[in-house]
């Protein structure tokens, strides 16, 4: 059985009685978008040596951004 994380750890979808009713649908949409993009493009980090750190804000922010080069798959 998968371990359930507390919704209070990542509050973008709110937590408690007013939490987002379609959080799972939103995650599914995000995964579909990623799958479509990965099917069409190859992504390569602009700087592969750069350490990636998150910043906990209202959304999950990448500190300083995450620059990539995208090239079409043939």
What contacts 68, CB < 8 A, 6 or more positions away? 43, 44, 45, 46
Q: Please give the size of the binding site for ligand HEM, defined by CB under 6 A.
A: 9
Any contact of residue 18 with ligand HEM (CB under 6 A)?
A: yes
Burial 44-55 (b: 16+ CB within 10 A, else e): eeeeeeeeeeee
User: What string marks each residue from 26 to 55 as x (binds ligand HEM by CB under 6 A) or -?
Assistant: x-----------------------------
Residues near ligand HEM, by CB under 6 A: 12-14, 18, 20-22, 25-26
């Amino acid at each position: 059985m998968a371990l359930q994380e507390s919704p209070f750890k990542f509050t973008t979808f709110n937590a408690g009685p007013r939490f987002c009713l379609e959080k799972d649908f939103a995650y599914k949409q995000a995964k579909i978008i990623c799958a479509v993009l990965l099917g069409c493009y190859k992504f390569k980090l602009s700087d592969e040596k750069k350490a990636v750190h998150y910043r906990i804000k209202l959304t999950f922010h990448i500190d300083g951004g995450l620059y990539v080069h995208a090239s079409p798959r043939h």
